[in-house]
Each structure stands twice: as structure tokens, then as C-alpha cells.
């Protein structure tokens, strides 16, 4: 090893040892200062101001505070939960399945997106519930697609045009006449199934093998 290499090695060693000693000294001073603060309750002016500020506000978070969310006023009730109690009454004993369940104001169904016809329809019918209220008339209702269904899977009136089938109710309009909107909702095409038309061929169709 040459003299130049030895000198360089000694220089690097000196720098490393010096850095280590300096770091150790700083750490000892920090520890000593902390002990003094706890033991004698003595701090300099700058530290004292900081401690007094923190002590005057116990539990104050170091980071910025986050404002709490404002509560939703009671009158702004979400339409999605407006008929929860009625749906709970209809589905009191559970659901036959959970595939694409859709709840309306007075009945519930599971929509089959492949066939565009319901898997099943649930109603809760009572003698008082099926009584017609004044002014409720199915003649005011129109067959219409359910806009909440994706267009790829939505049943349309054109699906029945020229098919030879009628749009047959699953949840009957006559069972939902307490309010006009209940009757109207039975005319969603999600509540329809192809129905053989009433005609002179109807009896022959049933007996045909």
C-alpha cells in the first residue's frame, strides 16, 4: 500500500470518527435537556412559549382540524329510502333471491336481464289494501320502460310489437289502487311477461300439442 493510499485512509477514518463523536455529543445534550425540562421544569423563553401554548390547549391536534360533516335536514329525505317500511312489510319473511332486486312503492321484483322478464314478483295484499281509492284509474296509466334498468337490458314496448303477445301484468294493476302512482308503477315493463292474446285462437292454443 502506498503512502498516498495510507494518508487517504487515515483522513477518511478521522472524518468518520469525528462525525460519530459529534453525533454522540449532540444526542447526549438533547437527552440532558429533556431530563432538565422534566426534573426542574425549566425551559428557555422560546421553548417556554411553545410549552405554554400547548398546555393552554390540551389535546389540540398537531395537524389541521377537519370539520364535521353537516347533518342532512330531516325534510331532505332520500327517495331511495322513502318506502323502506313498506318494503320491509312486503318482504317480511325474506327474499327468494337477490339477483337485481328492484323495489317499487307497493311491490318488489327480481329482474332477469337475460330474458327481460322478472324472476319473481312479491306483493303484500290485504282486503283494505286492494280497495280502490277515489280517482285511481288504470286507464290513466301507460306501459313504459323502467329507466333505472341499463339500456342493454331494458324491456321496451317495441319488444312486444308484432310479436303476437300482449304485455301481461305480474303484479296486477287491480291490486294496487290505493294511490294512482301505485297503479302507474305496475305498468313498468319490468312487471310484464308475454301473454297470449285473447282471441278466437286462444282456446286452440291452450289445447294444441
Which residues line the annotated binding site? 201
Distances (CA, A) of 150 to 1, 108, 134, 146: 82, 18, 35, 9
Out of 119, 124, 150, 169, the active site residue is: 169
CA distance 39 to 167: 88
Residue 190 makes CB contacts below 8 A (sequence gap 6+) with 102, 109, 111, 118, 146, 149, 155
With 0-12 / 13-18 / 19 or more C-beta atoms within 10 angstroms meaning exposed / middle / buried, residue 188 is buried
CA distance 94 to 120: 13
Sign of torsion, CA 9 14 19 25? positive
3-state secondary structure of 207: helix
CA distance 158 to 168: 15
**Which residues carry a binding-site annotation for Mg(2+)?**
201
Task: Identify whether 119 is a catalytic site residue.
Answer: no
Catalytic residue IDs: 169
Amino acid at each position: 500500500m502506498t503512502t498516498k493510499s495510507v494518508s487517504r485512509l487515515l483522513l477518511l477514518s478521522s472524518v468518520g470518527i469525528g462525525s460519530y463523536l459529534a453525533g454522540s455529543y449532540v444526542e447526549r445534550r438533547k437527552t440532558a435537556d429533556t431530563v432538565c425540562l422534566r426534573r426542574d421544569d425549566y425551559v428557555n423563553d422560546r421553548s417556554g412559549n411553545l410549552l405554554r401554548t400547548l398546555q393552554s390547549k390540551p389535546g389540540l391536534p398537531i395537524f389541521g382540524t377537519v370539520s364535521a360533516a353537516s347533518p342532512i335536514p330531516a325534510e331532505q329525505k332520500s327517495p331511495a329510502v322513502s318506502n323502506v317500511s313498506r318494503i320491509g312489510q312486503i318482504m317480511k319473511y325474506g327474499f327468494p333471491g337477490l339477483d337485481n332486486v328492484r323495489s317499487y312503492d307497493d311491490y318488489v321484483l327480481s329482474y332477469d336481464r337475460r330474458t327481460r322478464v322478472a324472476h319473481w314478483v312479491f306483493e303484500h295484499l290485504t282486503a283494505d289494501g286492494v280497495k280502490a281509492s277515489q280517482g285511481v284509474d288504470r286507464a290513466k296509466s301507460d306501459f313504459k320502460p323502467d329507466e333505472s334498468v341499463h339500456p342493454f337490458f331494458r324491456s321496451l314496448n317495441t319488444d312486444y310489437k308484432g310479436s303476437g303477445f300482449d304485455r301481461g301484468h305480474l303484479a296486477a294493476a287491480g291490486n294496487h289502487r290505493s294511490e294512482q302512482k301505485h297503479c302507474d308503477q305496475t305498468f313498468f315493463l319490468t312487471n310484464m311477461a308475454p301473454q297470449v292474446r285473447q282471441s278466437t285462437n286462444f282456446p286452440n292454443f291452450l289445447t294444441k300439442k
